[in-house]
Amino acid sequence: MKRMLDVLLSLLALALLSPLIVAAAAAIAFESGRPILFRQTRLGLGGREFAMYKFRSMVKDAASIGAWHTASDDPRITRAGRFLRRTSIDELPQLLNVLKGDMSLVGPRPDVPAQRALYSDSDWARRCSVRPGITGLAQARLRSEATEAQRLELDLRYAREHSLWLDLRILGWTLGRLTGKGSN
């Protein structure tokens, strides 16, 4: 049921948001050229590696000139990228990852391989027992204000308690945060 909902909602979102997606791609191309999309190796269900897509919000080759994580004042972020990140529009290409089956709409955000070291073996197994998501409990409840420890705890909580009902609540909380109409 969850996979069917992921596919249907992703197709609907891509159709409804296509003008926004085209505008974002044009803004990136106009400001800093190609590539429009950024691909990064992430870890998914069962710890399997996959290429996660995002709109490129940083200068070209940013990964080679800085850390895997960024701060809001990171000089590698482009002007268009600041807007895309603030509005989460940079995440829209992950709808393609959902269609491919690498991700779900809801689940723990997929980690980069270096983040594996943050978990014990049992916590890592628990975290990788569910498909990663575009949004998750940590993003819906705390957005980017979550500390690393809070994010880890909420990711593990989701892996323990996941259900279709929880997914629908997380989607609602996320939409509320993005539209400014909701809170925790």
Strand pairing class (104-106; 133-135): parallel
Model pLDDT for residues 8-67, shown as the tens digit of each residue? 999 999 999 999 999 999 999 999 889 999 999 999 999 999 999 999 988 777 666 766
> For residue range 61-111, what is the model confidence (pLDDT) as tens digits?
766 676 655 656 677 888 898 899 888 899 999 999 999 999 999 999 999
